[in-house]
Amino acid sequence: MARGGDVRFWGLDFPEPLPEREAEISAADLVATFSAGWTLGEVQSMLRSEGLLIPHGGLCLEHPASQWPVRAADLTLEQAIGFDFPHALGHLYGGWTDWVLGLTVEDANSPGSEVKLGSRVVKSVAGYDGQKLFCGALGAFGRIVSVTLRVYPLSVPLHADLRGSGGPPSEDCVLHRVRPADLAALEATVGEHALALDRLGAWAVYPLGQKEDPPLRFAGDQLWRYGQVPELNPAARRLLTQAKVQLDPNDQHQPALWRPA
């Protein structure tokens, strides 16, 4: 995959990265603010030079055998937050929704104006945490301009336990949230095809068998075909519809997303 703006995944176009490239890192505060157009790989490199990191295990990040179609390090921060892909260290360190302390976003309802959400400190309960809605929204609510993140010291233990093959060879596979109790059984069933991403059993990716349906046997929290936008539950779909009305009333961003057929 080409870096930055060339991402086309699940049939969704992400717009070109915004041109700004600013970075402000405070090791003493474990907080950093970046323009959203930096790639995750670039950000990790800047943080590493300060003795810091984002504990994102990636969907193959730093996994040399990987041939996967998505390298997390190549995503811009805007894309990474928008996709909010599960990653190898999620069970230990959370994900974007835990790390994003604040965002500056373009107000889709008022072209040219920017809005600040959240804060730039590790702890704040002032106002509504709108920044969290942008995590996993696939860009549906508008452009992210800059991101303030909680970051971690390089010394945090990285327990990611990558196993199995180098990853699925095609999109014909399943990404499945596996509960700890099911992980061993899953590995036993799908063997080398499984890539168990977390020793505590966070996520697994494995080929979708032609005659079997592993998800029926493993009662995980979530499941989606790797090649498709995941479905939302009815409550989340209802809220998403209302959010589009409020935040992107002209439907300028990802207009086809999550629309009923």
Site residues (vs another protein, CB under 8 A): 26-31, 51, 84, 94, 97-98, 107, 109-110, 113, 115-117, 119-130, 132-137, 140-141, 152-157, 177, 179-181, 221-222, 224, 230, 232-233, 235-236, 238-240, 242-243, 246-247, 258
Q: How far apart are CA 142 and CA 253, in angstroms?
A: 6
State which residue, 1 or 156, has the beta carbon closest to another protein. 156
State which residue, 128 or 216, has the beta carbon closest to another protein. 128
- Determine how β-strand 173-177 pairs with β-strand 100-106: unpaired
Q: How far apart are CA 42 and CA 44, in angstroms?
A: 5
**Least distance in angstroms from the C-beta of 184 to another protein:** 11
**Least distance in angstroms from the C-beta of 253 to another protein:** 13
CA 94 and chain centroid, separation:
11
State whether residue 29 is helix, strand or coil.
coil
**Least distance in angstroms from the C-beta of 53 to another protein:** 11
Q: Which of 177, 188, 187 is nearest to 215 (CA)?
A: 177
Q: Which two tokens stand for residue 69?
A: 């179609």
**Least distance in angstroms from the C-beta of 103 to another protein:** 11
Q: How far apart are CA 87 and CA 85, in angstroms?
A: 6
State which residue, 68 or 85, has the beta carbon closest to another protein. 85
State which residue, 41 or 94, has the beta carbon closest to another protein. 94
